[in-house]
């Protein structure tokens, strides 16, 4: 699979065509999707029409944009006009949105071709893409293992060479974790850098949309297209998109990078070895690497699993069988809503709704949700202090390489621990990315995580590019 950067250059120059690139994508999807369960819906007719339109514009000498003819996969919690959008849940069965998410508008305006919708953990609640109502997605690198979650379908699409890039959403690690397990670059942007308009909400103060790619340059290119103010999202930062591609090769000379003990303690030996090797590579490229400790991070997993379910219980109240999606008939409205939500939501979604509702209930709010918000403030302050001493932080993305399908489904707590290194950044609202570096068990990829203060994406991409080169991926 060519990079997105190369595809766009070839389509613009006439060396290739959007139609040819799309047909190559559709062929791979046809060959591998039945085995891997990556796409829930492939918009063959819509994608072919879009590709033909791009080719016609190129023939007329028009500039069709920085993603000219690039096929892209979309996580199925992003609204696209007329395309089934399910969040991998029975409760949205048959729903086709009447509008596009802002990120989809921006991709299409940049010349990208939307291929279809990818599988995810239901309503983005999970770490393995095994919580989908439509069956699990398998890791293309080893189909007996998970691709990570919740954006496992989007990660698998790129890892399987179905598309060069894809979009996911990251609430507690749902882009970075599957990127690590599938050997990809995955980016969680600064909160507010990318519009959430048209993203079906899980936890509104945590959710962010970002790209998956095989190269740092491709991830930077896609994020540059996605970013920038959107008046339809009240949390959108009131500023234009940053220049990112131009800074990918800036390097790390003179940067001070903190190796965070709490972001790799307890990880598998191979993961720890990769993180330390990444620190050596950054040091060799001219950065000063120092070990730092942020003890507050030990509290973040507990805080997250109160804040996120509390917001989910509120956001998911809208799925009631009245306006759209599934409706189970009953003798009155109350019984209909209960029957619809019972039949429509899966076990993990019900678990989190109940936990969140309990945490917000009278008599428990201060003890649980209120305390979690205090931990969030402590986390924000702790990161701010760390960034006064260093430019970036380094740690592991996940505690292990991709694990076997079914290995952790019986114990929710074991599954939740997969996000222990990614959750802190979501609570703080800062950016972070995962980049492949080294291998672990069975030769599977290890992802290392780079973290920075708000709006530091350009620095993160530059450091990630250093690691990409050091890992032998020029």
Dump pLDDT digits (tens) for 397-410. 999 999 999 999 99
Cα four-point dihedral sign 46, 170, 204, 352: positive
Dump pLDDT digits (tens) for 200-241. 999 999 999 999 999 999 999 999 999 999 999 999 999 999
d(CA 172, CA 125): 9
pLDDT of residue 93: 86
- Check: CB of residue 244 under 8 Å from CB of residue 458: yes
d(CA 290, CA 282): 11
Cα four-point dihedral sign 296, 383, 357, 341: negative
Q: Which of 17, 128, 132, 150 is catalytic?
A: 150
Question: What would the two tokens of residue 188 be?
Answer: 């969680």
Q: Which of 151, 174, 313, 456 is catalytic?
A: 174
> Which residue range forms the structural domain that includes residue 128?
4-247
pLDDT of residue 8: 98
- Check: CB of residue 267 under 8 Å from CB of residue 234: no
Dump pLDDT digits (tens) for 383-432. 999 999 999 999 999 999 999 999 999 999 999 999 999 999 999 999 99
Q: Is residue 37 situated within a structural domain?
A: yes
150 is catalytic: yes
Q: Which CATH number fits the domain that encloses residue 22?
A: 3.90.1300.10
State the chain's mean pLDDT as an integer: 97
pLDDT of residue 1: 85
Residue 128 has pLDDT above 90, yes or no: yes
Which residue has 């496992």 as its token pair?
152
13 is catalytic: no
Dump pLDDT digits (tens) for 337-353. 999 999 999 999 999 99
Q: Is residue 318 situated within a structural domain?
A: no
Q: Supply the Cα-derived Rg of the chain in whole angstroms.
A: 21
Which residue has 């076997």 as its token pair?
404
Q: Is residue 308 situated within a structural domain?
A: no
Q: Is residue 201 situated within a structural domain?
A: yes
pTM of the model: 0.98
Q: Is residue 49 situated within a structural domain?
A: yes
Question: What would the two tokens of residue 130 be?
Answer: 């095994």
75 is catalytic: yes
What is the secondary structure of 388-457 as a DSSP string?
HH-SEEEEESSSSSPPBTTSSTT-HHHHHGGGTTTHHHHHHT--EEEEEEEE-GGG-EEEEEEE-STT-H
- 206-237 burial by CB neighbour count: b if 16+ within 10 A, else e? bbbbbbbbbbbbbbbbbbbbbbbebeebeebb
User: Is the bond preceding residue 196 a cis peptide, omega within 30 degrees?
Assistant: no
Count structural domains, the chain.
Answer: 1
Q: Which of 16, 17, 75, 89 is catalytic?
A: 75
Q: Is residue 140 situated within a structural domain?
A: yes
Q: Is residue 159 situated within a structural domain?
A: yes
Q: Residue 73, by phi and psi: left (phi above 0), alpha (psi -120 to 50) or beta?
A: beta
């Amino acid at each position: 699979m060519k990079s997105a950067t190369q595809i766009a250059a070839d389509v613009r120059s006439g060396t290739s065509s959007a139609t040819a690139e799309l047909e190559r994508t559709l062929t791979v999807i046809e060959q591998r999707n039945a085995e891997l369960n990556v796409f829930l819906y492939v918009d063959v007719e819509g994608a072919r029409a879009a590709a033909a339109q791009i080719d016609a514009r190129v023939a007329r000498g028009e500039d069709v944009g920085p993603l000219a003819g690039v096929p892209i996969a979309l996580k199925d919690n992003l609204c696209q006009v007329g395309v089934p959008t399910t969040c991998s849940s029975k409760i949205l069965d048959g729903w086709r949105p009447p509008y596009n998410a802002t990120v989809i508008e921006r991709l299409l305006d940049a010349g990208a071709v939307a291929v279809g919708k990818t599988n995810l953990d239901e309503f983005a609640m999970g770490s393995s893409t095994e919580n989908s109502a439509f069956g699990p997605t398998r890791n293309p690198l080893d189909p007996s293992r998970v691709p990570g979650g919740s954006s496992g379908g989007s990660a698998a699409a790129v890892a399987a060479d179905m598309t060069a890039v894809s979009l996911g959403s990251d609430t507690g690690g749902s882009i970075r974790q599957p990127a690590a397990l599938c050997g990809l670059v995955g980016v969680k942007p600064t909160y507010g850098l990318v519009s959430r308009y048209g993203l079906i909400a899980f936890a509104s103060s945590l959710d962010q949309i970002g790209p998956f790619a095989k190269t740092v340059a491709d991830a930077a290119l896609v994020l540059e297209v996605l970013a920038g103010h959107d008046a339809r999202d009240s949390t959108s930062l009131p500023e234009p998109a940053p220049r990112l591609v131009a800074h990918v090769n800036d390097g790390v000379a003179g940067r001070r990078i903190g190796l965070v003990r709490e972001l790799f303690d307890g990880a598998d030996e191979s993961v720890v070895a990769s993180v330390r090797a990444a620190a050596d590579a950054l040091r060799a490229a001219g950065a000063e690497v120092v070990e730092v400790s942020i003890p507050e991070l030990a509290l973040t997993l507990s805080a997250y699993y109160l804040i996120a379910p509390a917001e989910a219980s509120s956001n998911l109240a809208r799925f009631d069988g009245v306006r759209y999606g599934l409706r189970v008939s009953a003798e009155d409205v109350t019984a209909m809503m209960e029957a619809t939500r019972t039949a429509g939501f899966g076990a993990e979604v019900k678990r989190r709704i109940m936990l969140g509702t309990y945490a917000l209930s009278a008599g428990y709010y201060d003890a649980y949700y209120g305390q979690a918000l205090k931990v969030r403030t402590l986390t924000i302050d702790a990161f701010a202090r760390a960034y006064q001493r260093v430019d970036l932080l380094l740690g592991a993305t996940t505690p292990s390489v991709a694990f076997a399908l079914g290995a952790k489904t019986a114990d929710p707590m074991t599954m939740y621990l997969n996000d222990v290194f990614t959750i802190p950044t979501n609570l703080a609202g800062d950016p972070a990315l995962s980049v492949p570096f080294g291998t672990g068990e069975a030769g599977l990829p290890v992802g290392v995580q780079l973290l920075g203060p708000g709006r530091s994406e350009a620095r993160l991409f530059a450091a990630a590019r250093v690691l990409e080169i050091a890992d032998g991926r020029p």
